[in-house]
């Protein structure tokens, strides 16, 4: 197999007319450049270069090989550019993709000149998309630990109980967990993991809660809560506007801090230079800086 590195050195020697100037151009030592040509000539079993009057020239074999070497190097450069400049595909669960993720990926794309292709959907669909190779990175409200991937905790998102502004709880800052029993708790996106968080934090009490599914999204849930159809438990980041406008009231549950850990998932074994790995490192650094402030 011919080495692209050796072919690139061969072209540099021809263009520079010698080993020393070629080595400087490639940031190599002269001895390394000479060794590249020696190995290339051994692979092809013919002499490629010859010294004439103090200058390095191509032999007949070298002249025949030169256009092929240029084609090899050019093809490799085009392949590298095609892959490294391809849009970075990010699949995100609905709440994360709509409310939390966009600023981070926009900053990363602008900083590195990389196009970002976000795809937003339900958590199970996001996991499936990543598993099928249709996404390079996933950002989700939960991860099931399937093999072949690495999951990193990105941020912890607090959960809030939300009620209509004319609800009896609207003037309170917190309620007891037992007060949730008997309430219509409206659920949004399927597979969001809110039930898992409630079971973990509230224990057996979670089994006594009445949850109403089928609203499909947090936006639908918020509108239903505003009209008095029930209450809900949502990520705090999803209700910033409604709280500011006074359209909804947000409460904590006494004695517990409900929160979801948002995870970033990518295939295992990726090099540190891959755009996926660089994006994850960028997002984790941003979170660490925010927490330090």
The domain spans of the chain are 4-84, 86-293
CATH 3.40.50.1000 is right for the domain spanning 4-84: no
| pLDDT tens per residue, range 158-205 | 999 999 999 999 999 999 999 999 999 998 665 667 777 888 888 888
CATH 3.90.340.10 is right for the domain spanning 86-293: no
The first and second tokens of residue 72, run together, are 């090899």
What are the residues whose beta carbons fall under 8 Å from the beta carbon of 249, sequence distance 6 or more?
162, 163, 164, 165, 167, 169, 170, 171, 243
pLDDT at 7 over 90: yes
| pLDDT tens per residue, range 81-137 | 777 778 999 999 988 999 889 999 999 999 988 899 999 998 899 999 999 999 999
The first and second tokens of residue 127, run together, are 């996991």
| pLDDT tens per residue, range 210-257 | 888 878 888 999 999 999 999 999 999 999 999 999 999 999 999 888
What are the residues whose beta carbons fall under 8 Å from the beta carbon of 109, sequence distance 6 or more?
88, 115, 116
Closest to 3 in 3D by CA, of 27, 37, 29: 37
The first and second tokens of residue 24, run together, are 């400087």
Q: What is the CB neighbour count within 10 angstroms for residue 31? A: 10
Closest to 250 in 3D by CA, of 262, 266, 234: 234
Indicate the range of 76-85, 113-122, 272-281 predicted with least confidence. Answer: 76-85
- Same fold for the pair 4-84 and 86-293: no
Indicate the range of 7-16, 76-85, 241-250, 268-277 predicted with least confidence. Answer: 76-85
pLDDT at 144 over 70: yes
């Amino acid at each position: 197999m011919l080495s692209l590195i050796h072919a690139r050195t061969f072209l540099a020697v021809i263009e520079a007319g010698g080993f020393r100037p070629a080595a400087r151009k490639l940031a190599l030592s002269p001895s390394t450049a000479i060794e590249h040509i020696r190995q290339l000539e051994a692979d092809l079993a013919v002499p490629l270069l010859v010294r004439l009057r103090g200058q390095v020239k191509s032999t007949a074999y070298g002249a025949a090989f030169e256009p092929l070497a240029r084609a090899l190097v050019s093809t490799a450069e085009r392949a590298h550019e095609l892959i490294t400049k391809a849009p970075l595909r990010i699949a995100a669960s609905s709440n994360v993709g709509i409310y939390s993720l966009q600023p981070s990926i926009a900053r990363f794309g602008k900083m590195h000149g990389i196009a970002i292709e976000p795809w937003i959907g339900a958590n199970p669909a996001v996991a499936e998309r990543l598993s099928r190779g249709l996404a390079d990175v996933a950002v989700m409200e939960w991860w099931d630990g399937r093999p072949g991937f690495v999951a990193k905790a990105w941020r912890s998102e607090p959960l809030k109980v939300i009620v209509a502004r004319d609800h009896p709880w609207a003037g309170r800052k917190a309620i007891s967990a037992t007060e949730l029993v008997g309430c219509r708790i409206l659920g949004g996106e399927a597979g969001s993991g809110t039930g898992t968080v409630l079971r973990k934090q509230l224990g057996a009490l979670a089994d006594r809660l009445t949850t109403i599914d089928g609203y499909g999204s947090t936006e639908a849930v918020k509108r239903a809560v505003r009209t008095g159809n029930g209450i809900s438990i949502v990520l705090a980041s999803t209700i910033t506007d409604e709280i500011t406008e006074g359209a909804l009231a947000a409460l904590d549950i006494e004695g517990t801090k409900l929160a979801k850990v948002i995870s970033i998932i990518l295939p295992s074994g990726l090099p540190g230079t891959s755009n996926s790995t660089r994006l994850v490192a960028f997002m984790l650094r941003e979170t660490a800086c925010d927490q330090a402030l």
